Amino acid sequence: MLQSFKLFFNCNLVRSRSYSGYYVSRVRYLKRLKEDDEACREALKSGIFLLYHKLSPLLRETSSGIYTLASLKTSGFNTTPFKLFHYVNKRILHMHLYICMPISVDLEHILEKVGKDKHFVNESFLLGCTDKGEPQFSLEVGDIDRSALEQECRGMFVDLRKAFFMLPGPESPLAAKGQALLRWHQTNCFCSATGQPTIRNQSGSFRVCHSSGITYYPKMAPVVIVLVSDGSRCLLARQTMFPLGMYSALSGFCDMGESVEETLHREVAEEVGLEVKNIQYSGSQHWPFPQSSFMLACHATVNPDKTQVNIDKAELEDARWFTYEEITEALRKPPLDPRREPPVFWVPPSYAIANQLIQEWANQQQLSRKLHGLK
């Protein structure tokens, strides 16, 4: 059975969502938008739109030099106060008023300027909604001239992997979800049983083949990611596709019928030739690569006398043990600008759950050293 890493070590980096009193209202509001096409079309009039050009999100640089997701709104956006979720549950919900001010130029106007019909916004997919009840959508604009859009939107389209290094932490999951949903729709346009086109609902929460009656829902592939330790060192690896100098925790897809524990044991044995024990669950995360993965993060240990790594070169370019000092240095100096030369050794960005695992291990090592009077 998996044990929770959080039961053993008090780590501030373990992600937990903080829910406000309106969480239930937001969830029910989104459920209505997913199921009711007309309600979703109405929400488009007051929605926030994230643009993607061939799956690269649109970013803007603020006056302080920080990059953020560029949010656009339609001309129908209402700048006067409105009642939040008043139609969700009138019996239990108090009426709260919010001022929603436009945060950018009009999307429909921009689309018309670059030669696209303003009704193109109807091709958007529902992502979620803000704390103020503003519905959020993603829109793929890859068939429009990129430079013209960047000029009109006063931003730039950035590869999502690079964007993770540039965006504030809270915006990264939204950017990832937007890309993942767009990619899923691009790759599920036809029914696997009949070959006939599938038709989306307005929100994009499913596609249906009217010939076979099969309904397809966006899905994620389960992946186990594990940080292995011998007690004083942790094991990191890199694939040839990784950016130069980056090492990460071991990971692999769950085979059909496997449990998390079985996948973890198998992947570590396959990739580095080690047998692990003491598996402890840490957390989970959606990861948009390679085709939308559901990351299940764990810690595991090996016998300190059996740490010889035997790398599967078909899977990995390198794998080696790193000391506490090497890890803390990498965490202390992350490559904040992907356009610059990266360090000789670095770890995934703070948004990635691999970073969480590494930070948790470093925190545990620090605690252990203090208990034993070590620096």
What is residue 209's predicted lDDT score, i.e. its pLDDT? 98
Dmax over CA atoms of the chain, in Å, equals 70
Look at strands 221-229 and 293-301 and give their pairing: parallel
Residues 6+ positions from 52 with CB-CB distance below 8 Å: 58, 138, 139, 140, 141, 142, 157, 178, 179, 182
Alpha-carbon span 340 to 169, nearest angstrom: 20
What is residue 201's predicted lDDT score, i.e. its pLDDT? 98
Alpha-carbon span 264 to 345, nearest angstrom: 25
The answer to whether 311 and 239 have CB atoms below 8 angstroms apart is: no
Distances (CA, A) of 333 to 94, 345, 349: 47, 10, 11
Alpha-carbon span 227 to 219, nearest angstrom: 25
* 266 closest CA partner among 250, 281, 282, 280: 250
Take residue 111 and report the two structure tokens written for it. Answer: 């689309």
Written as one string, the DSSP assignment of 257-306 is T--HHHHHHHHHHHHH----EEEEEEEEEEE-TTT-EEEEEEEEE--TT-
What is residue 334's predicted lDDT score, i.e. its pLDDT? 78
- What does residue 108 show for φ and ψ, rounded to 5 degrees? -60, -40
Take residue 208 and report the two structure tokens written for it. Answer: 């249906």
Alpha-carbon span 353 to 333, nearest angstrom: 18
What is residue 310's predicted lDDT score, i.e. its pLDDT? 97
* 212 closest CA partner among 232, 225, 229, 197: 197
Residues 6+ positions from 144 with CB-CB distance below 8 Å: 53, 114, 115, 116
What is residue 56's predicted lDDT score, i.e. its pLDDT? 98
Question: What is the C-alpha end-to-end distance of the chain, expressed in Å?
Answer: 34
What is residue 1's predicted lDDT score, i.e. its pLDDT? 54
What is the chain's alpha carbon radius of gyration, rounded to the nearest angstrom? Answer: 23
Count Cβ atoms below 10 Å from residue 289 Cβ, excluding itself: 14
* pTM for the full predicted model: 0.84
Count Cβ atoms below 10 Å from residue 314 Cβ, excluding itself: 7
The answer to whether 301 and 277 have CB atoms below 8 angstroms apart is: yes
CATH architecture of 220-371: Alpha-Beta Complex (3.90)
Q: How high is the mean pLDDT in each 10-residue block of the chain (375 residues)?
A: 51 47 87 97 94 97 92 67 41 34 68 91 95 93 96 95 89 96 97 98 98 97 98 97 94 97 98 97 96 96 96 97 97 74 87 96 93 76
At 196, is the secondary structure helix, strand, or coil? coil
Residues 6+ positions from 283 with CB-CB distance below 8 Å: 14, 15, 297, 353, 356
What is residue 169's predicted lDDT score, i.e. its pLDDT? 82
